[in-house]
């Protein structure tokens, strides 16, 4: 892929590449935690070809395009391991409720009346705009009409692990779970092998699905060798359901179905025992930690330090904007770090470096994509962002990783690049029409309000 575009300039021995991002502090999040105070990243086509000092990159490469990142941090794009992009249109619709009441009284009824292919397209565009503006380059999604999510994700230029939802009751895109499975099968066939989209199956949760459907959903993902996304052990109510119906914990129940294995990403994983954690580790399940949604719905605090000690791959997520209420992964890092210090009364429980890894390389591992994304290294996909460090809030800077977790906000992101393509340049959107997306979202809000009256 790289070779086809490589041209060696005769005059000075420099290799011509498509893009050089240079002059910033490069925080690679590679295995050696390399930080280059004045560094650069050379990109050719869809991939990174070199990460080095700005001087060494300038000697070896000439970019057909150059982004000057002086006064900025150059970072791998952030990976949001759990969201429901289209729910951006439900942002702020119902707050200050526990999960089950929030779902049953507001979200499921609103979805029953409002969700359509047009709704999903508009909501995904809004979420994509927010994600690009706040430095997310890959997101894992669970929703309805997932082919619409995929088309909008591709149009925006983002990378997505997109799961077609399977749920027991009738929903907008499927009258029965069997219909949902047929949809998921068609969706996988349509998008498998796409450079930006990894199709997936998303059985909603054990409390909204029966055993045969959970098994069928998992069989489908195994047959196609695609990821399975599920909500797991999110609330004490879910634990109670599992105890009453199956005389077991949520994790043990799914394990008894043969559901757990590599390729499964479990969102939340809050109410788990040490034995459950050992099962998740043994089965190679990834976990998505969503501290803001969990705190807002008062679902509880996932035992993230215990997961990390047990070497379970834990990434970070925002959950949908209806329960967060934004998609800012910098905020998710900060809240994750503060939450675990707070609940353990130990300031070392989740340090800045680990929080940053959860938003990048650990998230990539949880999704099984760490050979492709999650750090700035040659031969990985060119998914990177630059972040201004010039404001009062970021001055002075002793430690870039500290600032990334404890002071940076999504708005500080200046450039967002996915698969070698610049999606936002100096905060100007290049793939999306910002004004049109915002106007459309405001129109949808009127319809949603009418639907939940
Ligand atoms: Zn969720």
Ligand 1 centroid to Cα of residue 79, in Å, is: 15
The two tokens of residue 289 are 């930690």
As a whole number of angstroms, the distance between CA 245 and CA 319 comes to: 27
pLDDT at residue 25, as a whole number = 98
Q: Which pLDDT tens digit goes with each residue over 87-108?
A: 999 999 999 999 889 999 889 8
pLDDT at residue 11, as a whole number = 55
Ligand 1 centroid to Cα of residue 78, in Å, is: 18
pTM: 0.96
Mean pLDDT of the chain: 96
Confidence class of residue 213 from pLDDT cuts 50, 70 and 90? very high
Percentage of the chain modeled with pLDDT above 90: 92
Ligand 1 centroid to Cα of residue 148, in Å, is: 18
CB atoms within 10 A of CB 362: 28
Ligand 1 centroid to Cα of residue 407, in Å, is: 26
Confidence check: pLDDT of 8 > 60 = no
As a whole number of angstroms, the distance between CA 285 and CA 334 comes to: 24
As a whole number of angstroms, the distance between CA 445 and CA 374 comes to: 35
Tell me the average pLDDT across 45-73. Answer: 98
User: Do the Cβ atoms of 149 and 120 come closer than 8 Å?
Assistant: yes
Q: Which pLDDT tens digit goes with each residue over 378-392?
A: 999 999 999 999 999
Ligand 1 centroid to Cα of residue 127, in Å, is: 15
Ligand 1 centroid to Cα of residue 53, in Å, is: 40
Ligand 1 centroid to Cα of residue 150, in Å, is: 18
Ligand 1 centroid to Cα of residue 375, in Å, is: 25
Ligand 1 centroid to Cα of residue 274, in Å, is: 23
Q: Please report the beta strands in 252-293, taking only residues with DSSP state E, as ranges in sequence order.
A: 264-268, 286-289
Instruction: Read off φ and ψ for residue 158, nearest 5 degrees.
Output: -85, 165
User: Do the Cβ atoms of 410 and 330 come closer than 8 Å?
Assistant: yes
Q: Which residues of 276-287 are buried (b: 16+ CB within 10 A; e: fewer)?
A: bbebbeebebbb
pLDDT at residue 13, as a whole number = 85
Percentage of the chain modeled with pLDDT above 70: 98
Confidence class of residue 3 from pLDDT cuts 50, 70 and 90? very low
Ligand 1 centroid to Cα of residue 398, in Å, is: 36
Ligand 1 centroid to Cα of residue 278, in Å, is: 23
Ligand 1 centroid to Cα of residue 294, in Å, is: 10
- Alpha helices in 302-399, H assignment, sequence order: 304-309, 329-344, 352-358, 361-366
Beta bridge partners of 201: 164, 228
Confidence check: pLDDT of 453 > 80 = no
Ligand 1 centroid to Cα of residue 299, in Å, is: 12
């Amino acid at each position: 892929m790289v070779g086809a575009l490589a041209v060696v300039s005769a005059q000075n021995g420099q290799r011509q590449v498509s893009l050089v991002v240079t002059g910033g502090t490069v925080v690679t999040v590679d295995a050696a935690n390399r930080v280059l105070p004045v560094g650069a990243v050379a990109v050719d086509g869809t991939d990174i070809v070199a990460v080095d000092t700005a001087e060494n990159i300038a000697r070896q490469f000439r970019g057909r395009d150059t982004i000057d990142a002086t006064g900025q941090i150059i970072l791998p794009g952030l990976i949001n391991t759990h969201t429901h992009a289209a729910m951006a249109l439900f942002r702020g619709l119902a707050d200050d409720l526990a999960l089950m009441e929030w779902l049953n009284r507001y979200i499921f009824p609103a979805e029953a009346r409002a969700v359509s292919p047009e709704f999903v397209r508009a909501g995904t565009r809004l979420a994509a705009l927010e994600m690009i503006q706040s430095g997310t380059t890959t997101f894992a999604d669970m929703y309805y009409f997932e082919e619409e999510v995929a088309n909008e994700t591709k149009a925006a230029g983002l990378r997505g692990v997109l799961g077609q939802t399977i749920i027991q009751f009738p929903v907008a895109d499927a009258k029965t779970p069997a219909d949902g499975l047929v949809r998921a099968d068609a969706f996988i066939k349509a998008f498998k092998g796409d450079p930006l989209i990894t199709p997936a199956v998303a059985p909603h949760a054990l409390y909204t699905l029966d055993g045969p459907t959970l098994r069928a959903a998992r069989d489908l993902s195994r047959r196609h060798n695609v990821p399975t996304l599920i909500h797991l052990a999110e609330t004490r109510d879910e634990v109670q359901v599992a105890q009453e119906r199956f005389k077991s914990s949520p994790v043990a129940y799914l394990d008894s179905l043969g559901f757990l294995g590599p390729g499964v990403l479990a969102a939340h994983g809050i109410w788990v025992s040490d034995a459950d954690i050992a099962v998740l580790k043994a089965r190679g399940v990834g976990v998505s930690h969503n501290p803001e949604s969990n705190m807002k719905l008062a679902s509880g605090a996932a035992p993230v330090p215990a997961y990390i000690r047990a070497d379970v791959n834990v990434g970070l997520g925002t959950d949908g904007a209806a329960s967060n209420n934004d998609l800012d992964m910098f905020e998710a890092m900060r809240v994750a770090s503060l939450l675990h210090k707070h609940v353990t009364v130990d300031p070392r429980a989740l340090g800045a470096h680990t929080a940053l890894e959860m938003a990048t390389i650990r998230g990539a591992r949880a999704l099984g994509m760490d050979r492709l994304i999650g750090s700035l290294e040659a031969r990985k996909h060119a998914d990177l962002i630059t972040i201004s460090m010039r404001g009062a809030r970021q001055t002075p800077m002793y430690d870039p990783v500290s600032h990334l977790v404890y002071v940076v906000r999504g708005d500080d992101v200046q450039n967002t690049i996915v698969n070698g393509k610049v999606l936002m340049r100096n905060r100007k959107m290049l793939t999306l029409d910002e004004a049109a997306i915002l106007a459309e979202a405001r129109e949808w809000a009127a319809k949603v309000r009418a639907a939940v009256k």
